[in-house]
Amino acid sequence: MIEFKNVSKVYDNGSVALDDVCLTINEGEFVLICGHSGAGKSTLFKLLTHEVVPDSGTVIVDDFDVTRMKRSKIPKLRRKLGVVFQDFRLLPNKTVSENIAFALEVIEEKPKVIKEKVSHVLELVGLTDKANDLPEDLSGGEQQRVAIARAIVNRPSVLIADEPTGNLDPDTSKGIVDLFKHINNFGTTVIMVTHNMDLVSYLNKRVIRLKDGRVQSDNMRGAEINEA
Ligand code: ADP
Ligand code: ADP
């Protein structure tokens, strides 16, 4: 479970990123975060990964109080969270397999286990035949699938995606969110930032709208919002 209790964050330059935010996201939920640029969406994610610490309030991820956590526990926290970005962030000189394997090498997984897990996750995202290609040889949608494979290969309890379809065309975007739905169906909590109202209504999941660092609404599903 993820919980934000009265969380506020003001950056050093005085920008108010989050102002007294309270949210609970249960295990296994699929939640969309919407809001204009500057609304505080990225800050919300950075609080989860402990890239940013709040000025006040508490952030809980599973049993961890992220706000009062020792530095030495950060790697353990980050293993609970798979992260996907708009710009994929793949390593350009590594193949598809190597990009995914890298996430397991850094936690010193055994080579045999790495091989098995990479092959399993490539199948899951439908890229088995691209295993030895470099990112530059793939389409945008395929690159994002590699990034998703890398994010879930350690079986995180939460997948967070910051505008994962921002660089993709509408059909490819639907394929990506279908993959998120699939991942969500086997129990992973999914939290996705999107500006794309077509995807919001297509998914028809809980929508949290942020505005100027505050929760503007958190009581609707995608289809209702587009009707409103
Ligand atoms: P969003 O992801 O919704 O665009 P952000 O969380 O990135 O929103 O930003 C929220 C507010 O905090 C904005 O006013 C932004 O300019 C400010 N902000 C974000 N990151 C920083 C930073 N590192 N330093 C100073 N201000 C920041
Ligand atoms: P199991 O009990 O077999 O692990 P799950 O319900 O966890 O079943 O998963 C269903 C299917 O999805 C299985 O084939 C499982 O291996 C696969 N799967 C679930 N989560 C992940 C993940 N994060 N990475 C790769 N494969 C996964």
Backbone angles phi, psi at 161, to 5 degrees: -130, 120
Instruction: Assign 10 a pLDDT band (cuts: 50, 70, 90).
Output: very high
Asked whether residue 137 is assigned to any structural domain, the reply reads: yes
Instruction: Assign 219 a pLDDT band (cuts: 50, 70, 90).
Output: confident
Instruction: List beta partners, residue 60.
Output: 3, 65
Residue from 7, 11, 44 to probe ligand 1 pocket by mutation (most atoms less than 8 Å from CB): 11
Asked whether residue 224 is assigned to any structural domain, the reply reads: no
Mean pLDDT of 131-137: 98
Angstrom distance (rounded) from CA 133 to CA 108: 24
Instruction: Please identify, by atom number, the ligand 2 atom nearest to the C-alpha of residue 156.
Output: 23
**For 139-149, how does the pLDDT look when each residue is reduced to its tens digit (9 = 90+)?**
999 999 999 99
Angstrom distance (rounded) from CA 96 to CA 149: 10
Angstrom distance (rounded) from CA 106 to CA 73: 16
* Domain range enclosing 72: 2-219
Angstrom distance (rounded) from CA 3 to CA 61: 7
E-assigned strand segments in 62-106: 64-65, 81-85
Structure tokens at 60: 């809980």
Asked whether residue 51 is assigned to any structural domain, the reply reads: yes
Q: Pairing state of beta strands 206-211 and 30-34? A: parallel
Asked whether residue 167 is assigned to any structural domain, the reply reads: yes
Asked whether residue 92 is assigned to any structural domain, the reply reads: yes
pLDDT of residue 225: 73
Res 52 pLDDT > 70: yes
Domain count within the chain: 1
**CATH classification at residue 70:** 3.40.50.300
pLDDT of residue 228: 60
Asked whether residue 226 is assigned to any structural domain, the reply reads: no
pLDDT of residue 121: 98
Angle of the 111-125 helix axis to the 96-105 helix axis, nearest 10:
130
Closest ligand (CA of 187) = 2
Mean pLDDT of 110-132: 98
Res 226 pLDDT > 70: no
Residue from 84, 118, 121, 124 to probe ligand 2 pocket by mutation (most atoms less than 8 Å from CB): 124
The answer to whether the complex's ipTM is over 0.85 is no
Asked whether residue 22 is assigned to any structural domain, the reply reads: yes
Query: Separation of 93 CA from ligand 2 center, angstroms?
Result: 29
